[in-house]
Amino acid sequence: MSTKKWRCIDKVKHIRTKPIAIVVGACIAQLIDNIAFTISFACIPHLFEDMKLASESKIGLAATMFGAGSFMTSALSGLLNGMASGLVYPISAASVGDVYPHKLLGLQMSLLNVFNNAGPILGGALYDYIGVRGVSVVLMTIGSILALILTFGISEPLLIHEKLIENHSLVDTESYQLKDIDTESEKTVKISLDAEVNQTSVVTIPQNIPIWRLALQWQVLLASMITIFLGSLAGSLDNVLTMHSKDAFKVTASKTGLLFVLNGGVAIMLSVPTGWCVDWIIRRFGEKSRSYIEITGMLLTGGAVLSIGLSTSFTAIIGIEAWLSAALLIANIPVMSSFGDFVNSLGIDSMAQCYGIYNSVWSLSSTFAPPFATWMYTRVGFKNTVAGLLTSLCLLCALLITVEVIRRSLRNRH
């Protein structure tokens, strides 16, 4: 009996060290975190309205901070909830990236994206079922499950990473082809700046780059700038569409919610195929094709945003929203995976820092851009805000990526 018990424990330990187990654990962690986040946000207006705990201004502030309960406890709860959510994604993404050092990460990041989008849908349905009174029990329960998954379900991804790079070469891209020469506190590597012209140089890269230096690396900086554009666009459009649907078409809140459900549904269905296609294209045509995918995604996104801005019916907006969701995936997934692909291609231990940068710039842009878009909507109207400002944002981002493609092409010629 004792022998069987230890065999079972050994099997569990063996499963926990598999890369696929890390992916599953990270995806479940993302799902639970987004369910908790959605429930926390949804309960605030009802809680304050029912219990008469605060004025409308305090309700708005607490809602912004995603808290619940009395005003002071709401503020504290919101702060802790935001900090927790801000930690879960970088940990999850870094864990997945670390256990696939020899592969492109488009498919893996798309899996995380599926559970990111499923969380709010399931969280909203769960809140409708349990109501405001059952929120605390549910949050404590799923919070405990999340803690257990992060503690025991994701088993030492860095140790798995070290074992994998002993038996596999690092992810191979056209921009960075590495061959280890020495492995000490710093790595001396031979980098082929461009495989076509066979230019090489020997440089010394620290095992762990300080986050400020990492953020200033051109590949990370460019990906961060694109992420700012995408986060600003997504957050602004959600706010403006909600207000416009109510003002222009007199639709109910439940009908407006169809936009968000549709957005999440399209993302759930198309994320994995998009991630697989992104990886296949980059493997087939080289790292330079990533930029062309991003440009295509931004142009498709710009077309969808322009169409929404010119739409005259809510039904048309719903149809175009599906197009927009698919276009955003084409633009965002290669950007998401580029952070991890960059770290893996250099063989440095900065995966968590890189995805911390991604999460930070997305969160900041999606937080600070919507108030400005709302102000623009009240000043110049829906058409000028969406068809003008937000469409221009898409075109500007596409132009930025195009400039990078031209710069890289000119550098390779010399």
CA–CA distance, 244 with 308 (Å, rounded to integer): 11
> What's the pLDDT at 191?
39
Tokens of 234: 């997504």
Flag whether pLDDT at 381 surpasses 80: yes
CA–CA distance, 284 with 172 (Å, rounded to integer): 12
Coil, helix or strand at residue 205:
strand
Higher pLDDT, 62 or 259: 259
Model confidence, pTM: 0.78
CATH class of the 211-413 domain in this structure: mainly alpha
Beta bridge partners of 199: 194
Annotated domain spans of the chain: 2-163, 169-206, 211-413
Residue (of 293, 305, 303) closest to 329 by Cα position: 293
For the chain, give the mean pLDDT.
Answer: 76
List strands edge to edge, sheet with 186-194.
178-183, 186-194, 199-206
Select, from the ranges 56-70, 133-147, 222-236, the one with the highest average predicted confidence (pLDDT). 222-236
CA–CA distance, 372 with 354 (Å, rounded to integer): 28
Alpha helices in 168-252 (DSSP H): 211-216, 218-249
Averaged pLDDT, 312-337: 92
Least confident of 30-39, 50-59, 352-361: 50-59
Beta bridge partners of 179: 190
> What's the pLDDT at 328?
94
Q: Using pLDDT thresholds of 50, 70 and 90, give the confidence band for residue 202.
A: very low
Averaged pLDDT, 307-323: 91
Q: What are phi and psi of 220, to 5 degrees?
A: -70, -40
Averaged pLDDT, 1-22: 63
Q: Do residues 258 and 318 lie in contact, with contact meaning Cβ atoms separated by under 8 Å?
A: yes
CA dihedral over 124, 129, 132, 137, signed as positive or negative: negative
CA–CA distance, 73 with 152 (Å, rounded to integer): 30
Averaged pLDDT, 345-353: 81
Tokens 């399931």 belong to residue: 122
